[in-house]
Amino acid sequence: MASGIPNKKEKLSFGIEMEFFLAWRAESFTGTVPAPPGSESKTGGPLVVRGNWARESDIVSALALMIDEAFPSSAATVAPSGGGVPDYGDQEWHHLYPFRRWDVSFDPTLKRLPKALRDKTGPDFGWVGAEVVSPALWATDEGFEEVRRMCEFLQTNFWIFTAPEAGFHVHVGKGNEWLSVNSLRRIAAFLYAADLILAQSHPEHRRDNIWCPSLRLYSNVSVGIKNPPIQAQPTPPDEPTEVRADEPTEVGADELTEVREQSAYAGFMKLAQNFFQSWVGRAEPPQENQVLTKHRFPPRPTVSTFNINRDSVERVLGYHGPTLEEIQDPRTYKPIPMMTAVAEILRSADRRSIARLMNIGQRRGAYSFLQLEREHKRTIEFRQAASTVDPVEVVTHARIAVGLCQFAASASHEDFFKIILDCETAGEHPSWYDVYDLLKEVGLYPEAKVVQAVLSGTMTDAMRREYWLSRGHEPRP
């Protein structure tokens, strides 16, 4: 195995998807629109719709027009490094054509209004489920500032209701390019190991949710799906080595070197054990009756037990059927050991293999790699955050998604495996290691403070100002 030298950092990009309910009224309506819950002290009002409002898409189109006028372009939008306009007819750019500017659409998953809004609708006013999608943005201060400006625009001008039915998603990629296979392996393994820890940064209703189920509990690798064995065929010394598999895998010439690198992780379990032995000098997990003093975030997040949903297990086991070496009984199902799953992910030969292990049947989980099997997106999707248009919360979750990917892809082997082993330890000792510890270790201390304040309901204007300053943003008056 290589030493602890970090990999070269990849230039990352990101995009966000904000789901929420939007208040609207017809231009001809002269009455009073009932205010949404919690909006008494906020600015803004219903979206004014001119012309037709017979369909939800007609209403949302009115918001799209306003956003087009207010956000014509962004300096942080992904574009060629040499400047100029991307050629979206080119294969390397066509997948970004839908993500070149802010977009708004009706969200069919929010067609049913939550109970709090059902008595606040009429023939000429009401609420509609909307999704606002950002362009593909470089993960720079300018990119995060663009997102902040959009959130402030929405908060200032409209009544918005963020119900538990809605979510907030972040996509992380590498501009118009694919993330390297080695980076994808490490990111996938890292997110799998940290899944139950990272879930602590979200409210309870986002943890056992059909739209973002746990990878550790239900993913294909968790139920026992494995990579096909890869065998290198002997060749003369002067000829390039070919990599073959028992089952066909699509590996391009540019990926051949990276596939060979999978052998560096072939002895992962032994490597992890050796690393653990060299790591015994660390503080031992405390007994339950000991007081914890190693972190600055009292109180710790609520540590809840993840109850396995038998219907979800039956679906994923039924999908795989006879392809599993051993089919478990859904009534007694347990995921395979975490370290075994991590080792399997790290030996994946290509992006399709990674996606196959990380999917839940053919569905997406809390961290989705499903789009890696398709050409229209080249991103990893973070799906577990709750619906919000709060600028601090949105930028925080976007920076967390980017920061976790950047750490996993570029950290030294020692730092990478240390956190994976901490996540393993936390399975037996939940009080030993939490999401605040993890975020601090990967360089996301300001974001950890925001997460703690949001979850504990202690966010203040002073904390918002402190966060913007910590990340180089100008605080607003």
DSSP string, 65-88: HHHHHH-S--TTB---TT-S---T
Give the residue carrying structure tokens 């963020």.
Answer: 162
Residues 6+ apart with CB under 8 A from 226: 325, 344
Q: Are 127 and 161 in contact (CB under 8 A)?
A: yes
Q: Where along the chain do its domains lie?
A: 10-177
Alpha-carbon distances of 406 from 84, 87, 383, 409, rounded to whole Å: 27, 28, 18, 5
Angle at 445 between CA 273 and CA 390, to 5 degrees: 125
d(CA 273, CA 343): 12
- pLDDT score, position 464: 96
- pLDDT score, position 266: 53
Which token pair is 459? 């966010």
**Which residue numbers in the chain have pLDDT < 50?**
1-3, 233-263, 279-281, 286, 288-295
Alpha-carbon distances of 162 from 64, 128, 208, 211, rounded to whole Å: 19, 12, 18, 16
Residues 6+ apart with CB under 8 A from 128: 21, 22, 24, 56, 59, 60, 106, 110
- pLDDT score, position 298: 56
Q: Are 382 and 394 in contact (CB under 8 A)?
A: no
Query: How would you label 146-171 residue by residue, b for 16+ Cβ within 10 Å and e otherwise?
Result: bbbebbebbbebbbbbbbebbbbbbb
Query: Of all residues in the chain, what percent are helix, strand and coil, respectively (each to 5)?
Result: 40, 15, 45
At residue 170, φ and ψ (nearest 5 deg) are -125, 130
- pLDDT score, position 300: 62
Q: What is the per-residue DSSP string for 438-471?
A: HHHHTT-HHHHHHHHHHHHT---HHHHHHHHHHT
- pLDDT score, position 1: 38
